[in-house]
């Protein structure tokens, strides 16, 4: 079956711009989580959505936002980009409680802010 699909794979943006990243979960998975990965901070949780509702949010500024659509696809948006937003953004999907198989991750979107 198809895995978690993230688009685009690579992105270069200028400071001050905004960006939208997309994530299509595995069919039947209703939970979508987003993580930011940087060399300095490692993997950090951004937010998690289930049935179009944000259930949990990490410690990130309000410039980071997301949403989930009725087909479980999710988008995250970063406004007013800063150089420090350069990172690999990973999306993960799971059935409601993840269970023993945890979360299936996509290959990520590598964002570079210049």
**Residue nearer to other proteins on the CB measure, 13 or 98:** 98
- Burial grade of 94 (CB within 10 A; 0-12, 13-18, 19 or more): buried
- Burial grade of 49 (CB within 10 A; 0-12, 13-18, 19 or more): buried
User: DSSP assignment, residue 71?
Assistant: T
**Binding of residue 101 to other proteins (CB under 8 A):** yes
Site string for other proteins, 69-98 (x = CB under 8 A): -------------------x-x-x-----x
User: What residues make contact with other proteins under the rule CB under 8 A?
Assistant: 31, 33, 35, 42-43, 45, 48, 50, 55-56, 58, 88, 90, 92, 98, 100-108, 110
């Amino acid at each position: 079956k198809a895995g978690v699909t993230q688009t685009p794979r690579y992105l270069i943006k200028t400071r001050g711009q905004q960006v939208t990243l997309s994530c299509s979960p595995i069919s039947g998975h209703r939970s979508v989580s987003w993580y930011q990965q940087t060399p300095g901070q490692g993997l950090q949780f951004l937010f998690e959505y289930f049935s179009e509702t944000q259930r949990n949010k990490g410690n990130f500024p309000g410039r980071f936002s997301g949403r989930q659509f009725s087909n479980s696809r999710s988008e995250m948006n970063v406004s007013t980009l800063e150089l420090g937003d350069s990172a690999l953004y990973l999306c993960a999907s799971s059935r409601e409680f993840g269970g023993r198989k945890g979360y299936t991750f996509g290959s990520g979107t590598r964002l570079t802010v210049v």
